Structure 1
């Protein structure tokens, strides 16, 4: 049994990807940065260009999403054999569905306002469509990397990316989740010092 997607799973992944982009357009998200530029890399977190370009300091967290989703797919369908392991070959499109759902929810006024209220992202206005699409692509890359790497390497890579972004921008996937769901004022003040 394998988690590597077959042809139909890749087609489902592409369909979900395109559907997500269509939904983001329907939500009236900006296709690119309102500054009118498309940058491969935008490294200034506290700016109106953050989450507007192809990659930024939050791209590693989306790669880590892929590593995590691969782990859960392996745990559920390979290790525990849930549902007879039948969903295993569909793990990638299921992971894309989860990531795409997050990208849509993340760009709703409710979540954008939540980020502004409880994190240091006071001026956060949501993601551009190109950034959301790239975030999904980073998750796919992380998922596929996990399918080829030994477990220890996936864990080491996830820890490295978490520590790197913690050091560089005082934020990472772990702190992002904590601050979104259980805000800690001490963390917010520490992040604001950066």
Structure 2
């Protein structure tokens, strides 16, 4: 059994390395608008530039989903190493999500017309959200975890007409009817 502190340090180093990579990719450290705010406004260019945004719950849900998936397929792997695996996947996504190709894809096929990628601050918050979701999934009973996932999916669907499920669908296989509905049609 691995010392949990070792795997937590590895996960933290993966997160920090990701932030360095994002800076080296030319991502803005914070909002180019000139201020740091807790919440970015959806539908504006600062939407994913502040500490939190309406896609933060999706990253929280990543933690729940990674915990569940790793429990199913790697149950015998130490929890700390499952956290490292989940962190590696989340960090890889943060890097991929902030490439020009994926940013353009979001702008072409989703409602995120004003999406210009995340600030490094926002990416740090997204990684922390995944860690929180992973920790909550470990602590909460299964029914409560399912309730959190469904609740956040419904909440973001209602408030911004988008959520993790629709985001994945629209990114991989855009559906015109969904795009029309998201645009308010």
TM-score, normalised by the number of residues in structure 1: 0.92
Distance 1:47 1:181 in 2: 23
The answer to whether residue 20 in structure 2 is matched with residue 29 in structure 1 is no
> What is the CA deviation profile of residues 50-95 of structure 1, one whole-angstrom value per residue up to 9, with x for unaligned ones?
11001111111110000000001111122xxxxxx23543011110
Structure 2: where are the runs of 5+ without partners?
Answer: none
Distance 1:116 1:165 in 2: 19
Which residue in 2 is equivalent to 1:161?
A: 152
Which residue in 2 is equivalent to 1:52?
A: 49
Which residue in 1 is equivalent to 2:72?
A: 75
Contact 1:115 1:180 in 2 (8 A): yes
Which residue in 2 is equivalent to 1:81?
A: none
Structure 1: where are the runs of 5+ without partners?
Answer: 79-84
CA RMSD of aligned residues (A): 1.5
Which residue in 1 is equivalent to 2:141?
A: 150
Contact 2:8 2:80 in 1 (8 A): no
Distance 2:86 2:21 in 1: 18
Residue of 26, 36, 39 corresponding to 1:38: 36
Which residue in 2 is equivalent to 1:96?
A: 87
- For residues 100-111 of structure 1, the aligned pairs below 5 Å read 100-111=91-102
Q: How many pairs align?
A: 185
